[in-house]
Amino acid sequence: MGHSNRLRRPSIQKLSMVVALSAMLGACQDNDRQASDKGTVEASPDSNLLTSAIGDAADLSISTRLIGTAQLGPALDGEGSYTVFLPVDEAWESLEEAELQAIESADNRPQLISVLRQHIAPGYVLATDLEKGLAAGNGVVTLTTMGAAPITLHREGEAVTLGQGKDAPRIVGAPIVAGNDVVYRIDRLIPPPE
């Protein structure tokens, strides 16, 4: 469950608990993951605002809420262009309730933002761009992020995964195009870089 990193002091323990996300997800989520990669489907513009577009997506309600908590809405809706990989609600719900509550607390906001930034890449990467890049890269491309490390996308049959292994997040569904931004749903959180 990824809780091996218990620390002595409660405050640090709390922080540890909050962002031990990847390991927790890796254990909590099962393998009944959707394989319905529709990366080749190009979504038409849904909205000029990313926050509005994801707010309308029923399966992104927790990601939407967390972006609100982090107050990243103005940044994502603003002039900059971003490609965002957002975990669907099931991914967040696989966390323990206390952990999800902790990551939404004001005390842990820098950590929350660090986690979210690992899910944000610069620019406007449409599904067709992703497919072209994967084809040119023999099924592997590296994408820089706003977070702590780049992510590597892999073509795994019909699916596209972020990283490798059975616990690697997978793109599910069609991307949402909103203004300058593109949103891909993923079925797990992106793990922290090793």
Partner 1 sequence: MQTKLFIAGIALLSLPLSLPAYAQGQGKHGQGSEKASEKGSEKSKSGERKGGAGQADRRSDKGPDKGRKSSSSANKQIRAERKSDQRGDNGPAAILSRGQEGRENLRIRSFENGRYARREPSFQGCPPGLAKKNNGCLPPGQARKLGGADDRATNWLQYANWFGGNRGDDWRYDRGYAFRVDSATGLARSIMPLVGGALFSGNPWPQNYTDYKVSPYQERYFGSRQADAIRYADGAIFRVDPETRMIGSIAGLLTGDDWNVGSPAPKGYELYNVPSAYRSQYADSGSNSYRYNDGYVYEIDPTTQLVRQVIELIV
* 25-54 residues near partner 1, rule: CB under 8 A: 48-49, 51-52
Q: How far is the CB of 142 from partner 1 (least distance, A)?
A: 5
Site for partner 1 in 66-105 (CB under 8 A): 67-75, 77-83
- The C-alpha atoms of residue 99 and residue 151 are separated, in whole angstroms, by 24
Asked if residue 12 binds partner 1 (CB under 8 A), the reply is yes
Q: How far is the CB of 146 from partner 1 (least distance, A)?
A: 5
Q: How far is the CB of 88 from partner 1 (least distance, A)?
A: 19
Q: Which two tokens stand for residue 146?
A: 């706003």
Give the total of residues touching partner 1 (CB under 8 A): 73
User: Nearer to partner 1 by C-beta: 10 or 32?
Assistant: 10
Which of residues 26, 173, 180, 186 is near partner 1 by CB under 8 A?
Answer: 180
Site for partner 1 in 106-125 (CB under 8 A): 106-115, 117-118, 120-125
Question: Using CB atoms within 10 A of its CB, is residue 169 exposed (0-12), middle (13-18) or buried (19+)?
Answer: buried
Q: What is the dihedral of CA 177, 78, 143, 114, to 10 degrees?
A: -120
Q: How far is the CB of 31 from partner 1 (least distance, A)?
A: 23
- The C-alpha atoms of residue 165 and residue 102 are separated, in whole angstroms, by 28
For residue 57, the one-letter residue type is A
Asked if residue 164 binds partner 1 (CB under 8 A), the reply is no
Number of Cβ atoms within 10 Å of the Cβ of 151: 21
| Residue 148 near residue 114, CB atoms below 8 Å | yes
